[in-house]
Amino acid sequence: MTTNQPAAPPAGPVLGVDVGGTLIKAAAVAADGEVVARLERPTPPARDPDTVLSAVGSVVETLRAQVPDRVEALGVAVPGIIDEARGVAVMAANLGWRDTPVADLLSAATGLPVALGHDVRAACVAEWRLGVAKGGSDVLLATLGTGIGAGVVSGGRLLVGSGYAGQLGHTVVDPDGQRCSCGQRGCLATIASATAVVRRYAERTGGAEHPDGTPALSARDVAQRARAGDPAAAAVWADAVGALGRSLAIAVTVFGSELVVLGGGLALAGDQLIGPVQDSLDEWLTFQRRPRVVRAAMGAESGVLGAALLGRAALEETPVT
Ligand SMILES: [Zn+2]
């Protein structure tokens, strides 16, 4: 054996964990990209750093025990302001983390190399490396869920901004609009997140019950009511689409995106979202390249797969970007 050959990359599986406010989702992903095991657990309601960290550690150990091969690394995707280079959750309010050195703490707990990433950027990496944006150099992915986040690839590089990039949901589209959780008024997320669509429909109709009395509607239900001719639903949906087109036009103009990928709960409306957002975006563009608007391919698993990609990239010491 020669000594000058670079070592072969470790061949075992890596774990990807997506830590959300509601669920901790995890998967073991083999070197060829195949998911070999999955696990999902509720996120503990106690929002203190240690409780959520030990829940993540427990998910990791349980999944590890299900995988026959030696697990090589761990990638963890988290919402909030995430400093990926330092492995620190600067602010993840849903999880009780503030300036928490998540990568170091989980590495000490599990003995694995750990890469920490932002959940939406991880989803963007998954779609960019494996999914609908594969091979693209100028891609914007927006997830439309409880809030709105974006992952931006520009010139073939993922933009991180020391953790602050991608806060598309907090671009202001209506200065006189409703107060956002961030303290500002009229942010995109107050009009076009899945949560906002449901809330705004309830405000117009006095309630959001199904006819059978089930308490909550989903954004997809509001979309279906809009399609069926419900004027309140149609107005709420049109507002969401218009606001998205406007914010996306600004982002596209800044980043030169040529593909816009929409994911999250609102994207479950499929063609009822994609086509109208494409039209709304096009209205605002003049000289710019006209990006294609498409639906994310990976659904709820993109965060987990992206986290695993981050874990594998850290292991191989090759930046994922
Ligand atoms: Zn805001």
Angle value at C-alpha 104, between 47 and 157, nearest 5 degrees: 95
- The average confidence (pLDDT) of the chain is 92
Beta bridge partners of 160: none
- pLDDT (tens digit per residue) in 127-140: 999 999 999 999 99
Cα-to-centroid distance, 47 and ligand 1 (Å): 22
Beta bridge partners of 19: 24
Which residues in the chain are classed under CATH 3.30.420.40? 14-124+301-316, 135-296
Three-state DSSP at 91 gives strand
Cα-to-centroid distance, 188 and ligand 1 (Å): 7
Q: Which carries the bigger pLDDT value, residue 214 or residue 11?
A: 11
Write down how long the chain is: 321
Q: What pLDDT, on a 0 to 100 scale, did the predictor assign at position 1?
A: 46
Q: What pLDDT, on a 0 to 100 scale, did the predictor assign at position 299?
A: 84
Q: State percent of the chain over pLDDT 70.
A: 93
What is the rounded CA–CA span in Å between residue 162 and residue 151? 13
Q: Which residue type sits at 133?
A: A
Cα-to-centroid distance, 255 and ligand 1 (Å): 21
The mean per-residue pLDDT over the stretch 308-315 comes to 91
What is the rounded CA–CA span in Å between residue 105 and residue 247? 37
Q: What pLDDT, on a 0 to 100 scale, did the predictor assign at position 196?
A: 95
What is the rounded CA–CA span in Å between residue 41 and residue 22? 9
Task: Spell out the long-range contacts of 27-31 with Cβ–Cβ below 8 A and sequence spacing 24 or more.
Answer: 27/63, 27/301, 27/304, 27/305, 27/308, 28/63, 28/64, 28/66, 28/67, 28/71, 29/305, 29/308, 29/312, 30/69, 31/312
What is the rounded CA–CA span in Å between residue 22 and residue 95? 10
| Per-chain residues with Cβ under 5 A from ion ligand 1 | 170, 180, 182, 184, 187
For residue 185, the tally of other CB atoms under 10 A from its CB is: 14
Cα-to-centroid distance, 148 and ligand 1 (Å): 10
CATH class of 14-124+301-316: alpha beta
Cα-to-centroid distance, 74 and ligand 1 (Å): 31
- pLDDT (tens digit per residue) in 52-90: 999 999 999 999 999 999 999 999 999 999 999 999 999
Cα-to-centroid distance, 178 and ligand 1 (Å): 10
Residue 264 main-chain phi, psi, to 5 deg: 90, 180
Cα-to-centroid distance, 215 and ligand 1 (Å): 27
135-296, what's its fold? Nucleotidyltransferase; domain 5 (3.30.420)
